[in-house]
Chains A and B, each alone.
Chain A
């Protein structure tokens, strides 16, 4: 009896501690998620007074027949496939370099981290200037190399490439910090052992550092993929509130935004969000399944050495 009483009291206390967070999560995360799912079924809906006249799957039928939505899915996938691997490879490259330099490491870390803490809108303004076809810095440098100026922002051929470049640059800082933390956690003795065994720098990197870093890499990968699926700010700012020339940068979130705010089709916007949610979930589950096959605590190479 006494024990039970204490547990009861304790658990109330515990709940009180998490209550503020719980309220926040419920109001700002759980409720909107549930509501979005419900709204995706509202086909005739008075948004202002919250009256639903008709429900059904018409919103989903509509968006899958809408060429704009198909374009949005295509563009989103191109963006994710284009930007994520480059971001991670470059982040890893810079993280390893930063980890190994002795002097000015803090200075360079700050430099690489700056894009992450600066507002996307402000950054995008700078990029629109850099990529300006007539007076931008990018074409100036291309000109020095004898390459004809490229209309980075107004040509549907280059708009996605421009977006990927901006996004890679912006994503570096955060990923580098995470990878640096991961590198710092690797026991130095593994590296020393490899050196004694006569491994060169490449061998050490591929067989010791990389496997040891894999838990961090998996996290960085999942985080990047989710973030890139949700790209919006850069597009809005760089292309002046439009989804790029000839819809070449129309992504899923931009489609959702257009359906909701420009067309006031709340049901269709919610349906598109549900599809985006499903896509991100599928990709994340696949990643987890693959990640499970790794033995993070004892990466293969080290284990075989011990045997």
Chain B
């Protein structure tokens, strides 16, 4: 301490006095002139995490900017986290370190697990009660297929955001060459397969796994892998029959899966495949990958056993908390969620990303009709909406999904018949669901 004596001590004192003076000065200014502090300083900051990239990330930034411009109280800051997987991992890591964002994109299937961790906020007090709630009319205006996944155990935990549906990309040139029509049923698909096989061409392409198409066929036949009452149907005859059909097509060289390419886009645009089952959100990617002059369109998936069913996929928005809720932040987070459900916003979002509009009135609006006439490829997705369904969410869903995809993988890469794999896998799923409770 001796060193600090003399000159330096004086300096220290001076520093102390000046900083004290500065502080009191700012207190005084704040006291006499509140106008000096800008509105921006007072806004409650809401942090939003998403897994959007490229054009999708840009679209989200535009939406956030529109919200911020409309607000005097709240300011949303969006932070892109990378892939869905990374986002998921970061949520768990930040839950542990109590640094969760206020809002996040999340799949509805994660809701049960997030609720068990105690980090997701029940939206009932905002969505169906409270000053800023969604009116009955507005709630009913959201497609039931999208909204159904927002509810878990009778309470709302999420609002729909980025929704897509499984559709069929069609190589029209190839069909024309062989005088074939766009298939309406799986029997039509079989016919196409018979014709094309002779020339070494394929009827159907799938992504890495055909699980979403398989669950669509299962749903058309009257059930789901896991029913809404959490009964495991994965080993049932309905599922095994449908899976065997696809399995045989692959073995007979009538269909392929994308393998490590993950998406079948690349192989589809090579031109030797008539139909490619894909996400409606993948249209942009297929457009980019297609060589010049590649003639293709999109269509609703074919019916199976007389019915059409196609899986809705995508993400919701959830409100997160670190164990205790901050009223101002929650109100702001809800304001943003509600904002995104407005017709105008969901239309902006849909037309700039290719995701589906979330409300009925938005879908019927002139703006959207105009968009569809300019982008005919997007039509199949909105035509698929009446047939859309979502798979069941439950505790332990992630574990179940790992098991399910690995069963399909066994069939695809190890050449095992579904009847030899699925029943055993269903048994494991039962254990997973039991264990998670």
Contact = CB atoms under 8 A, between A and B. Distances in A.
Interface of A: 47-49, 128, 132-134, 151, 153-156, 238-242, 245-248, 258, 261-264
Contacts of A153: 259-260
Contacts of B88: 261
Contacts of A47: 92, 96, 117
Nearest to B85: A241
Contacts of B361: none
Chief secondary structure at chain B's binding surface: helix
Nearest to B98: A48
Contact of A154 (B113, B118, B413): B413
A262 B399 contact: yes
Nearest to A239: B260
A154 B414 contact: no
A6 B85 CA distance: 56
Contact of A48 (B95, B259, B262, B412): B95
Given A47-B92, A154-B259, A240-B208, 20 more contacts: A47-B96, A48-B95, A48-B118, A49-B323, A132-B261, A153-B259, A154-B260, A154-B413, A156-B413, A156-B414, A238-B260, A240-B262, A241-B85, A242-B409, A245-B409, A245-B412, A246-B409, A247-B406, A263-B402, A264-B398
B89 interface: yes
Contacts of B259: 133, 151, 153-154, 245
A238 B262 CA distance: 11
Contacts of B96: 47-48
B402 A245 contact: no
B402 A264 contact: no
Contacts of A49: 118, 323
Contact of B113 (A245, A246, A264): A264
A262 B398 contact: yes
Given A154-B413, A155-B413, A261 B92 contact: yes
A240 B402 CA distance: 14
Nearest to A50: B96
Contacts of B85: 241, 261
Contacts of B260: 128, 153-154, 238-240
9 contacts: A48-B119, A154-B413, A156-B414, A238-B260, A242-B409, A247-B406, A258-B402, A262-B398, A262-B402
A247 B406 CA distance: 8
A183 to B, nearest CB: 39
Contacts of A261: 85, 88-89, 92
Nearest to A243: B406
Given A48-B117, A154-B259, A264 B92 contact: yes
Nearest to A241: B85
B351 interface: no
B392 interface: no
Interface in B401-436: 402, 406, 409-410, 412-414
Contacts of B398: 262-264
Interface in B86-119: 88-89, 92, 95-96, 113, 117-119
A176 to B, nearest CB: 30
Contacts of A248: 413
Interface in B145-199: none
Among A47, A128, A246, A258, residue most surrounded by chain B Cβ atoms (within 10 Å)? A246
Nearest to A265: B399
Interface residues of B, number: 26
From A48, A132, A154, residue with most partner B Cβ within 10 Å: A48
Contacts of B410: 246
Interface in B354-407: 398-399, 402, 406
A262 B119 CA distance: 17
A228 to B, nearest CB: 22
B415 to A, nearest CB: 9
A247 B407 CA distance: 10
Contacts of A155: 413
A134 B96 CA distance: 45
A155 B96 CA distance: 39
Nearest to A68: B406
Contact of B414 (A241, A245, A258): A245
Nearest to A245: B413
Contacts of A240: 208, 260, 262
A120 to B, nearest CB: 16
B178 to A, nearest CB: 22
A134 B264 CA distance: 13
Contacts of B113: 264
A83 to B, nearest CB: 20
B20 to A, nearest CB: 34
A264 B208 CA distance: 24
A19 B320 CA distance: 38
B434 to A, nearest CB: 14
Contacts of A264: 92, 113, 398
Interface in B275-326: 323
A261 B117 CA distance: 14
Contacts of A241: 85
A15 to B, nearest CB: 23
Chain A CB count within 10 A is highest, among B85, B113, B267, B414, for B414
A133 B92 CA distance: 37
Nearest to A257: B89
10 A-B pairs with least C-beta separation:
A245-B413, A154-B259, A246-B414, A153-B260, A263-B399, A246-B413, A240-B262, A48-B95, A48-B117, A240-B260
A86 to B, nearest CB: 23
A251 to B, nearest CB: 15
Contacts of B118: 48-49
A156 B261 CA distance: 16
Nearest to A159: B413
Contacts of B208: 240, 242
Nearest to B399: A263
Please indicate which of the listed interface residues A153, A258, A264 has the most CB atoms of chain B within 10 Å of its own CB: A264
A206 to B, nearest CB: 43
B46 to A, nearest CB: 22
A98 to B, nearest CB: 34
Contacts of A242: 208, 409
Nearest to B401: A262
Contacts of A132: 261
Nearest to B113: A264
B3 to A, nearest CB: 18
Nearest to A134: B267
